[in-house]
Amino acid sequence: MSAPDDAAPEVEVPTGRRHRLVWVTVAVALVIIAIDQVTKALAVAYLKPRILSGEGPIDILGPVLKLTYTENTGAAFGMGTGFTWIFAIIATVVAIVILRTATKIGSVAWAIALGGLLGGAVGNLIDRLTRPPGIGQGFVVDFLELPNWPVFNVADMSIVGSAILMVILTIRGVELSGARRASGAR
């Protein structure tokens, strides 16, 4: 039986290419995790004492971008404070799902998107697992401040950027396999 005319045919991704794309996913994640953890360590070392002493945030681009220091025990926009352990579990599940999904991709763009999502999730998970008050209950270090927006970090930027890339890929009809959906296909 053949596929309908408006559906993309199944694409068999060669094993070697699939393995390379898994490594692209992992490499992107590791780069994000490294940048995230280094910038958080710098925020703790330099911004936390500044904020605690009352000096206030550092203006980078006037009122548009500031460096500050906050300890986020919740999720985005400060929601879920007190449920840190749930976010740790969710991040762990997300990481496992991404790693399993990465073995099925055939697109560099999807590998980058999944790697960014994985890196962001693991970057914040590391905070939740290693910072006070204890394993699975730790706060996430946030230090980038925009006007009228919650303070965030590199992991958060990576998660949002990856989500935007995934939406673009989906709108453009690029499937995980790398195949393009025919126009009008659902």
Task: Say if 38 falls within a structural domain.
Answer: yes
| pLDDT 10s digits, 41-89 | 999 999 999 999 999 999 999 899 999 999 998 776 566 677 777 888 8
Task: Say if 77 falls within a structural domain.
Answer: yes
- Can you tell me the distance from the alpha carbon of 101 to that of 94, in angstroms, rounded to the nearest whole number? 10
Per-residue pLDDT for 7 more than 60?
no
Task: Say if 186 falls within a structural domain.
Answer: no
The pLDDT > 70 percentage for the chain reads 87
pLDDT band at 135 (very low <50, low <70, confident <90, very high): confident
What is the per-residue pLDDT for 1? 43
Task: Say if 28 falls within a structural domain.
Answer: yes
Residues of 133-153 as b/e, b for ≥16 C-beta within 10 angstroms?
Answer: eeeebbbbbbbbbeeeebbbb
User: Active site includes 5?
Assistant: no
| pLDDT 10s digits, 137-162 | 889 999 999 999 999 999 999 999 99
User: Active site includes 127?
Assistant: no
Task: Say if 102 falls within a structural domain.
Answer: yes
Active-site pick, 5, 36, 127, 156: 156
> Which is nearest to 71 in space by CA: 183, 184, 153, 185?
153
pTM: 0.85
Task: Say if 64 falls within a structural domain.
Answer: yes
User: Domains in the chain: how many in total?
Assistant: 1
- Residue 86 belongs to domain spanning: 16-171
Q: How high does pLDDT run on average in the chain?
A: 88
- Can you tell me the distance from the alpha carbon of 163 to that of 35, in angstroms, rounded to the nearest whole number? 19
